[in-house]
Structure 1
């Protein structure tokens, strides 16, 4: 199977996976042959990518460290948590607060369990779900990356679940920001950026008041924008003052932020996001965490169509687990010309690079 942008779907293509909305309701079943009407409905729902079946890619296995249902469940819990935490009367309802935190702890525990059962490297967490808010998807992605890194460092189970919960809540302070600034489509002014930076303090103050949470969870919100050289915020502390959870989370947070499309800028390619991390290694980030990220995260998931530096186009067929940014590509086109398919191992063709993610073919 392969991934294709919904806007390039054609009548008669066959779905390889069911399509669900944010709440887990199936919109279109797998194996359905697409009609013009269905394609239009998918576009109307805001679905940007789908998996389709074809003979060229039938043997390509799409793997995920966590189930799509769990991702949707996590998204819904985050969305509901943000809504509840924005309620000024929440502190007067400790039962509701406790229930919300319990549900998030359950999500973090389940994500940790599913990732631990995944023998292969964790696939790049693409933004393939319908999402009405960047912050919700970002929180889930950062949690997945953070859990995978904590497991790579062989943290005890209770710490893996704890850091996963901290990552789910790391941006909770954005609930208390002016929404017109948080969702601004253009460049922020200096004053607006200073307001945005306050989300770390707001999140810390809110979470530390909860008797249901360890104080470390509040520090995840407080410190995830700190840097080991003291260049971060809100306090400008250095590495020896940062909690290990925050050091890991800062790497996951930056990678997901720069590789996700926003209204004011296009996403970087995954390997470009990795280059950002390496540029900051031993300055902003601890180098051993960046190295672990590269070993743990498969940057280009199976089924994704990519453009190579020599103008060939193909589909990621399988991973090279020692070099996660150089997978095996099933070549389908030389430029615009369709060719008989063959596999190209980028780990053996070091002069060829992935230069784009092509969703037209």
Structure 2
């Protein structure tokens, strides 16, 4: 299988991995043959890439950071937990606070177990979801990245759980922002941006009264938009005034947001997002954490179809943990775009004149 952009050229292609809705439920299952109507509808739903079957890459196995079952359960738990917290606040529903805490803890422990069992050495996110499910899938992906970073730092069970639960709920304050503003496809006005910025304080207000959620976790919601140089919000904290948990989630939040399709823009490639974060590593983000993050994330995920500086196209076959920018690839076309009868693999650590320059169909 391989990852390709969603275009009408995918008509009659067979889906290799499912597309999930906002609740983590399967919208279109693997094995489905794509029609023109389905491709058009998926584009309308904000799906920008799909994993498809391809005989030339049938031996390539896409490994998500967590299992499909764990991901679907986590997204569904975050969705239901956020809904319960907000409805309880409004008095429209009586939810058991301890039950919410237990459900979130169970979902996080499943994520943690999957990450501890990940032997690939680099974290790769392989979920495909509709844009209206962005908040919930984003929350789970940020938790995956933050937990991986916490493990790399050697966090113990208490620390990793506080970090993970806080990351899962870091954007819960967005549920208090009017949908017409939160989902606006264009640029925010100054007033709208002020309203959106309030989601940090809203999130803290919601979480600090929840049973089973520590204040350390709640402060992630409050501080994840603070920046090392004091240019963030809501309190313009600087440096070590920002909790380490929030400094971790700040990096993961920006990376995941940049690599996701949004209403107002297409997704950036993983290496482009990492370059942006590295560029802010001495001003906006904790440089030591940025360096650790860069060592643990797959900037060219397995299955991604890429274009080389030679104008050839290839698919990423496997990762080189020591040289993340130079994976093993399989050439699919020559420099003139002609399909190769016999695709072959190249280790970019041994072909130093070749490099990946862009995503490709």
Do they superpose with TM above 0.5?
yes
Q: CA deviation at 1:307?
A: 1.4
**Is 1:242 aligned to 2:242, yes or no?**
yes
Give unmatched runs, 5+ long, in structure 2.
none
Secondary structure of 1:348's counterpart equals: coil
Map Cα deviations across residues 315-360 of structure 1 (whole Å, 9 max, x no partner).
Answer: 111101112232111111124211231222233344443232223x
Q: 2:356 aligns with which of 349, 354, 357?
A: 354
Q: 1:72 to 1:354 in 2, by over 3 A?
A: same
Give unmatched runs, 5+ long, in structure 1.
none
Q: CA deviation at 1:50?
A: 4.2
CA distance in 1, matches of 2:158, 2:356: 38
Aligned to 2:177: 177
Q: CA deviation at 1:112?
A: 0.7
Q: 1:314 to 1:202 in 2, by over 3 A?
A: same
Aligned to 1:336: 337
Q: 1:24 to 1:150 in 2, by over 3 A?
A: same
Aligned to 1:302: 302
Contact 2:48-2:266 at 8 Å conserved across structures: no
Aligned to 1:82: 82
Q: 1:23 to 1:201 in 2, by over 3 A?
A: closer
Select between 45-54 and 282-291 the one with higher mean Cα deviation. 45-54
Contact 1:91-1:97 at 8 Å conserved across structures: no
**Is 1:227 aligned to 2:234, yes or no?**
no
User: What is the alpha-carbon root mean square deviation over aligned residues?
Assistant: 2.4
CA distance in 1, matches of 2:48, 2:30: 17
Secondary structure of 2:166's counterpart equals: helix
Contact 1:90-1:97 at 8 Å conserved across structures: no
Question: In the TM superposition, what are the counterparts of 1:1-361 in structure 2 within 5 Å?
Answer: 1-5=1-5, 7-11=8-12, 13-17=13-17, 22-25=23-26, 27-28=28-29, 30=31, 34=33, 36=35, 40-41=37-38, 44=41, 46=45, 49-87=49-87, 89=89, 95-130=95-130, 132-334=132-334, 335-339=336-340, 340-359=342-361
CA distance in 1, matches of 2:316, 2:206: 43
Contact 2:10-2:39 at 8 Å conserved across structures: no
Map Cα deviations across residues 72-91 of structure 1 (whole Å, 9 max, x no partner).
Answer: 11111222222222225466
Contact 1:146-1:163 at 8 Å conserved across structures: yes
CA distance in 1, matches of 2:128, 2:88: 33
CA distance in 2, matches of 1:261, 1:93: 33
CA distance in 1, matches of 2:76, 2:284: 32
Secondary structure of 2:315's counterpart equals: strand
Secondary structure of 1:355's counterpart equals: strand
Select between 97-106 and 17-26 the one with higher mean Cα deviation. 17-26
| TM-score, reference length from structure 2 | 0.89
Secondary structure of 1:133's counterpart equals: helix
